[in-house]
Amino acid sequence: MAETAATEAFGQGTESRRGFLTILTGAASAVAAGAVLWPLVDALNPDAQSESRARMVVNVADIAENTAKTVQWNGLPIYIRKLTAQQIAAAQAVVTDTLPDPADFTARVNAAYQNYVVVVGLNTGITCALEGNDPSDPRGDYDGWLCPCDGSQYDALGRVRSGPATKNLAIPRFTFINAAQIRLG
């Protein structure tokens, strides 16, 4: 009893023994509550399958020149097109200032893999899947993609060239893992 009184007399607020015990109990309780509640929070994070779908790996080695393949990613049609040397030269020669939505060659392709164009294959005017992946498809006047719904035309890099649409095709977030594979997301 005398000891308690002495402690009370010497220590003020959190400096006393009781204050220390209070902090210790509070800290332990906070850790315990956090450990109990964390699984409930974590359960709402995307599961492994959703994570892997959101970070999809696509094989691009099997794409023939001058054609594109379509993959569904996050609900979007992604067009991955392999350019010919001729198309690369033609695209580099375009004077970008004259375009409706100016963007130069380096802004549209990966510097290390210049022959691949990766775009979201939806018209930027009214939303509509574009035609022109296969060389036999109608591609418009610029050897790119044509919108069957409003007639907007895009070139091989996905830049808008004519039609109601005024914006270039969106480029999804992607990285080249190696020359044969890209990862979307």
Partner 1 sequence: MTTETKQIPCLGALCACLCAPVHKPEGKYLDTLPGLTAILLAFLTLSGLVLAVYYDPWHAFASVGFIGHEVNNGWLVQAYHATGATALFGLVYLYLFRAMLTRGYRAPGELVWGLGVKLMAVLLLVGWLGFVLTGGAAAYWSLFKASNGALALSGAAGAIGGWFFGGPAGSGTLARLELFHAVLAVGAMAVLWLLFAARRAVVPRAEPGQGVAFFPYYLAQYLVALAVFALIFSVLAFFTPHLGQPAVNALPADPLTLPLGTVLPWYLLPLAGIAQALPGIWGGILGVVGALAVLAALPWLDRSGPAGAKGGLYCVFTWVLAADVIGLGITAAARNYPQASLLLVLFTFWYFFHFLVLTPFVTAIEAK
Taking CB under 8 A as the rule, does residue 32 contact partner 1? yes
Residue 177: closest CA among 91, 94, 56, 36: 56
| Residue in 10, 14, 17, 25 binding partner 1, rule: CB under 8 A | 25
| Residue in 43, 61, 111, 112 binding partner 1, rule: CB under 8 A | 43
CB of 54 to partner 1, least distance (A): 14
CB of 154 to partner 1, least distance (A): 40
User: What are φ and ψ of residue 11, in 5° steps?
Assistant: -85, 140
Instruction: Tell me the three state secondary structure of residue 45.
Output: coil
Contacts 24+ apart (CB under 8 A), 142-145: 143/87, 143/90, 145/79, 145/121, 145/169
- Distance CA(153)–CA(128), nearest Å, equals 12
Buried b (16+ CB within 10 A) or exposed e, 62-79: ebeebebbebebeeeebb
The CA-based dihedral angle spanning residues 112, 115, 116, 121, taken in that order and rounded to the nearest 10 degrees: 140
Taking CB under 8 A as the rule, does residue 59 contact partner 1? no
| Residue in 2, 13, 42, 127 binding partner 1, rule: CB under 8 A | 42
Q: Which residue's CB is nearer to partner 1, number 46 or number 102?
A: 46
| Residue in 49, 98, 136, 178 binding partner 1, rule: CB under 8 A | 49
Q: Which residue's CB is nearer to partner 1, number 39 or number 178?
A: 39
| Residue in 9, 39, 75, 95 binding partner 1, rule: CB under 8 A | 39
Taking CB under 8 A as the rule, does residue 93 contact partner 1? no
Contact 142, 67 (CB under 8 A): no
CB of 11 to partner 1, least distance (A): 17
Contact residues toward partner 1 (CB under 8 A) are: 25, 29, 32, 36-40, 42-45, 47-49
